[in-house]
A and B are shown apart, each in its own frame.
Chain A
Amino acid sequence: MAETLAVETHDLKKYFGEIKAVDGIDLEISKGTLFGFLGPNGAGKTTTLSILSTMLPKTSGKVTILGFDIEKQANEIRKRIGICPQDLVMYPRLTARENVHLIAQMHGILRADYKERTDELLGQMNLLERANSLAKTFSGGMKRRLNVLMAVIHEPELLFLDEPSAGLDPQSRHVVWDFIKGFQKQNATIILTTHDMAEADDLSDELVIIDHGKIIEKGKPKDLKNRLGEGDIVEFKVAEIDLRDEIVERIKQLDFVKWAQVFGKQMIKLNALGGLKRISEIMDAVEVKMLDIGVHENTLEDVFIDLTGRELRE
């Protein structure tokens, strides 16, 4: 069993003084999986990833990476992993090509091999034309793409991506996503942290939702969304703020509504599309004016709201 696992943790904890950044995480991540950590900022995603990638010592618990014990065999692990940190970590006064070459050299890749592979990867990330430009002259999006390349040049068995597309424009984001998907097809295991629900949904085979250092839910994105039912999410914006709670309480009584909650001026309801007329009648009954109405499919954000009672970005 263990041989099929890329990552195994048992009761993993990391405390910074009184703060419980990671609070008893149990994980089993199979080889070849693209595994997501979804959660708000400060949930413990990056801390967990830092521990798994040997960058941060744990407080307690057991961690095995690719069959190696993280405390006793960190060097063996480092030979087999790649890390794309959340910050843009590169040498500004080296060219893009030199930055990638340096990581390959640290991993002992033969010169002829890494030179060819570097250009191949730079091409895939639309950076080949700027391969000889200093990294400090790159835009944020180009740096982000280079940051990812530096993590994969040595073709790691296990790749850690910490918010890999943070701050990217939609076009660059899809370039990075396509690259990640392509890399996974080569039988690599990928661990991804993100607070972007679309990224987690689009990329992950499996994911955990993490909050306050604990896993609050795990599963396949589709299964997690299905826990809310297969209907749509309806959002209302209302003018009469004082009456929001009363409206929500009335809507909750409807048999076709699974949950309803207040967020600022919004109420969110599930599977309510077929019952819009009834909801509208409730609004009329309490004399509330609807400012806006929106309908969308279930998202992982809705799952997070359902689990925690608050939005991911709070």
Chain B
Amino acid sequence: MGKELHRVSNPNRLWYLTLKNLKMMFRDRIQWLWLLGYPVIFILLFAFAFDPGVFNIMAPAAILIGPLVLISQLASHFAEEKESGAMRRLATTPVSRKTILISGMTAQLIIGAVQIVLLLVLSVVFGAKIDPGANIGLLFLIPFLSCFTSLGFGLLLASFIKTSSSAGALAWFIILPLQIIGGLTTSEPLIAGFPTSFAVDAMRKVMTYGLTSFDAIGLDLLGVVAWGLITTVVGIILFQRKTAIL
């Protein structure tokens, strides 16, 4: 044994694991392509296919496609950790399963935040008009809150699937209905009450029409928050149960 090792009483394990997750994502080009490529394709498609007036309606929806991708990302991440045995190995160290779980979600939220900013900038670069009365903070907050819904769905998926490849495939069964029915490829939601329906309504009201009052967007925001809370809590509970060791 070398010289004595000194230990800190309360190490910041959450930060170390989050950093590890970010490093691993950063080093995977396919993940980058998927995280940015999929929503960017829709921005480009809408920008070149529609006239500027229609693009102004569709750009807020395209920005919300970004957070949807996190469903597949989080599910794949945890499935890979389960599949490789890494989660079991970590669970034999003093780190709690709660910390492992939160670190995975935190890394995805950081990626989601960066993604939202990039997509906002890109949509403006390609000609989307932001109403002068729009609240920029809300333009970030609405898609960011949507990230929680995606993480919740991602955890639900990760609870049941065993391989990262099946996570990627099965995620489409959630992503596509949310995208299409929620109105992210149409001028308005096909069905009200979907998490994406609330989010896209709120985004359009803020970005395209400059509405910021609670009367105008309060209900939509509550819908986004409620979906985020419910899916995240259910996802965490199920995931904890399915990955219990002791």
Q: Give me the interface of A with B, judged by CB distance under 8 Å.
A: 53-57, 71, 74-75, 78-79, 81, 83, 85, 87, 89-94, 98, 102-103, 105-110, 113-114, 116-117, 120, 134, 150, 154-155, 183, 186-188
Contacts and interface: CB of A to CB of B under 8 A. Distances in A.
A296 B84 CA distance: 41
Contacts of A57: 245-246
A73 B46 CA distance: 58
A89 B88 contact: yes
Interface of B: 1-3, 5-11, 13, 16-17, 20, 23-24, 27-28, 84-86, 88-95, 245-246
A93 B89 contact: no
Contacts of B93: 78, 103, 106-107
Contacts of B92: 53-55, 78, 81, 83
Contact of B94 (A75, A89, A188): A75
28 contacts: A53-B92, A57-B245, A71-B246, A78-B92, A78-B93, A78-B94, A83-B92, A85-B85, A85-B89, A89-B85, A89-B89, A90-B86, A92-B84, A94-B24, A102-B16, A103-B93, A105-B11, A106-B16, A106-B94, A107-B7, A108-B7, A108-B11, A109-B5, A110-B8, A120-B2, A134-B27, A187-B1, A188-B1
A79 B245 contact: no
B16 A105 contact: yes
Contacts of A85: 85, 88-89
Contacts of A114: 5
Nearest to A121: B2
Contacts, number: 95
Contacts of A105: 11, 13, 16
Given A54-B92, A103-B93, 10 more contacts: A83-B89, A91-B86, A98-B23, A102-B16, A102-B20, A108-B10, A109-B8, A110-B5, A110-B7, A113-B5
A89 B91 CA distance: 12
A98 to B, nearest CB: 7
A154 B5 CA distance: 8
A106 B90 contact: yes
Contacts of A93: 23-24, 27-28
- With most chain A CB atoms within 10 A of its CB, the pick from B7, B16, B28, B91 is B7
Contacts of A53: 92
B8 A108 contact: yes
Contacts of A102: 16-17, 20
Contacts of B28: 93
Nearest to A99: B20
A106 B5 contact: no
A102 B17 CA distance: 8
Contacts of A109: 5-8
Contacts of B91: 55
A113 B3 CA distance: 9
Contacts of B24: 91, 93-94
A108 B246 contact: no
Contacts of A54: 92, 245-246
Contact of B1 (A74, A90, A92, A155): A155
A91 B8 CA distance: 24
Contacts of B84: 87, 89, 92
A93 B80 CA distance: 12
A103 B94 CA distance: 10
Contacts of B5: 109-110, 113-114, 117, 154-155
- With most chain B CB atoms within 10 A of its CB, the pick from A78, A81, A150 is A78
A300 B35 CA distance: 55
A79 B13 contact: no
Nearest to B1: A186
A117 B7 CA distance: 13
Given A54-B246, A57-B246, A93-B27, A108 B9 contact: yes
A117 B94 contact: no
Contacts of B88: 55, 85, 89
